[in-house]
């Protein structure tokens, strides 16, 4: 068949399924949408045309797939979280039923972050417990 990236955009679902089998040597996952099939097929064709993916990338990808999801950090009761915001250092204490900030109890870190900033934040992200902390 010789599938090219330029052909993929106009292919019907049946042709996409045939192209998938040709490119990946396996049937497409059940329920995969046409836009996803087009995206993955295009990526695979372009990667192969460029000589494949870097070996280091493939090793990292394999390691990540084998290790599973990253465990969430556990916050121990009595622990403290510090966050500087607009020139003020905020200290939040971890309690058995939530969090304490400025002598008030909160059920979630997101509620504390909202009280500090006045905006909707992911509490774990705001306090640096997740990547992309602001």
* pLDDT tens-place string over residues 44-79: 999 888 888 887 888 888 888 888 776 666 788 999
pLDDT < 70 regions, the chain:
1, 70-73, 131-134
What pLDDT score does 131 carry? 65
First vs last C-alpha separation in the chain: 49
3-class secondary-structure state, position 61: helix
HSE (CB half, 13 Å, CA atoms) of 22?
14
Output phi, psi for 34, to 5 deg.
-60, -45
Rg (CA), the chain: 24
* Separation of CA 63 from chain center: 16
C-alpha to C-alpha distance for 99 and 84, rounded to whole angstroms: 17
Q: Is 114 exposed, middle or buried (0-12, 13-18, 19+ CB in 10 A)?
A: middle
C-alpha to C-alpha distance for 83 and 123, rounded to whole angstroms: 11
């Amino acid at each position: 068949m010789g599938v090219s990236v330029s052909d993929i955009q106009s292919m019907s679902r049946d042709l996409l399924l045939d192209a998938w089998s040709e490119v990946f040597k396996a049937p497409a996952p059940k329920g995969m949408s046409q836009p996803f099939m087009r995206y993955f097929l295009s990526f695979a064709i372009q990667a192969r045309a460029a000589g494949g993916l870097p070996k280091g990338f493939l090793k990292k990808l394999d390691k990540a797939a084998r290790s599973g999801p990253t465990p969430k950090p556990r916050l121990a009761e009595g622990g403290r979280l510090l966050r500087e915001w607009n020139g003020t250092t905020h200290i939040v204490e971890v309690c058995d039923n939530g969090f304490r900030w400025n002598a008030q109890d909160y059920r979630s870190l997101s509620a504390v972050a909202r009280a500090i900033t006045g905006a909707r934040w992911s509490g774990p992200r705001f306090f640096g417990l997740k990547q992309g902390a602001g």
